[in-house]
Amino acid sequence: MSGLWVVVSGATSGIGRAIVRRFLAQGLRVLALARDVGALTILAAELGALGNGRLRTAVCDVRDRQRLEALAAEVGDVFAIVANAGICLQARLDHEAADAVWREVLATNLDGVYHTIQAFRPRMIDEGRIVAISSGLGKLGRAGYSAYSASKHAVLGLVKCVALELAPRRITVNAICPGWVTTAMSDADLERTADERGTSAEAERARAIGEIALGRFVGP
């Protein structure tokens, strides 16, 4: 297992960063993908010692299939793919930016998952693992989040189909639907909601926590 690769997109912050750290701690080789070269540099500096030469970082936009395929050609056998990269933008249907938000979010959150799987799937070993990060909004709806929620619902459909196609190779394919996690993305989401409602991020956080049975956000 130690000679195999794990591919993680959206690897530099929040959930993705925590996933990279865990895989490195388990002795796996990790290809960490993200769009921000500066964030990748920080990731390599902070986790490089833990990886002990097993961490490779690469600038990559998951909307870019050719870039993903080029990276896939450079690595060895792949044990797992974690399609984590995603963005959260909101726009009500009557907002002038609604169509642009729709295209941008679907391109990253849905097309990006598809492209990541398609690029690295040929390098996967039998009995490998694919995990796509969906969202609690992959099962629910929320006003102003049509693009985001639709993209995350669609990821669940994609995962169900890919799981059936790859079952003969004993590759398991699953999705995770996180609720509120303390990340930069969730902080930005709370800020946007507060601006829209004329409240504060602290008030929106308290409202969200009030809807959680455990009464807290979780850590990544």
Alpha-carbon separation of residue 216 from 136, 150, 179, 190, 206 (angstroms): 15, 26, 11, 15, 9
The DSSP string of 136-187 is: GGGTS--TT-HHHHHHHHHHHHHHHHHHHHHGGGT-EEEEE----B-SHHHH
In angstroms, the CA 91 to CA 61 distance is 23
Please report which helix (H) or strand (E) contains residue 133, including its range. strand 124-133
pTM over 0.85: yes
Catalytic hit among 43, 148, 159, 171: 148
In angstroms, the CA 4 to CA 20 distance is 14
CB 28 within 8 A of CB 6: yes
Number of H helices, E strands in the chain: 8, 6
Q: Give the tens place of pLDDT for each residue, 73-128.
A: 999 899 999 999 999 999 999 999 999 999 999 999 999 999 999 999 999 999 99
Sorted by where each begins, the domain ranges of the chain are 5-178, 180-220
- Provide CB contacts within 8 A for 164, sequence distance 6+: none
Count of C-beta atoms within a 10 Å radius of residue 101: 20
> What pLDDT does 187 receive?
76
List the CATH code of the domain at 5-178. 3.40.50.720
Judged against a pLDDT cut of 70, whether residue 2 lies above it is answered with no
Q: Give the tens place of pLDDT for each residue, 116-173.
A: 999 999 999 999 999 999 999 999 998 999 999 999 999 999 999 999 999 999 999 9
**Residues of 171-192 as b/e, b for ≥16 C-beta within 10 angstroms?**
bebebebbbbbebebbeebbeb
CB 68 within 8 A of CB 60: yes
User: What's the token pair of residue 134?
Assistant: 């969906």
Active site residue 145: no
Q: Give the tens place of pLDDT for each residue, 15-48.
A: 999 999 999 999 999 999 999 999 999 999 999 8
